[in-house]
Amino acid sequence: MPTAHELYDQAVDLRDAGDKPAAIVKLEEAVAADPDFAIGHGMLAKLNADIAETEKAIFHAKRVVELEPDDTFSYTALSVIYQRCGKIPEAEHAKAIAQQKEMGLDY
């Protein structure tokens, strides 16, 4: 059975070839194999937002934040996903957390 990283690489190839649905399937396999695979959740958030699967996009973006709570970029990415999904107050909140973390403050 392929590893999460191998499945991720296959998903990247599929995405680059323009097949986002197939890339999502591969990424879902990757995060099933390793539920803590943050980069897989991150790409799932982005691709699901691209195809207007907003709840799935938000779920995966939140999972990245859970896995990497000290990473400023995780909150920035969550903010972008929220914005793309039309959830502006949530986007602003995630952005505020990212800015606080960037300044070295706990939110």
Per residue in 29-60, pLDDT tens?
A: 999 999 999 999 999 999 999 999 999 999 99
In a domain, 25, yes or no: yes
Higher pLDDT, 104 or 79: 79
In a domain, 94, yes or no: yes
Q: Which long-range contacts (CB under 8 A, 24 or more apart) does 66-74 make?
A: 67/36, 67/38, 67/41, 68/38, 70/101, 71/101, 72/98, 72/101, 72/102, 73/98, 74/38
Which pLDDT band, with edges at 50, 70 and 90, does 62 fall under?
Answer: very high
In a domain, 18, yes or no: yes
In a domain, 107, yes or no: no
**Confidence (pLDDT) at 106:** 65
Split into its structural domains, the chain has a count of 1
In a domain, 43, yes or no: yes
Query: At 78, which CATH number?
Result: 1.25.40.10
In a domain, 79, yes or no: yes
In a domain, 53, yes or no: yes
pLDDT in tens, 67-102: 999 999 999 999 999 999 999 999 999 999 999 988
In a domain, 96, yes or no: yes
Structural domain boundaries, residue 71: 4-102
pTM, rounded to two decimals: 0.92
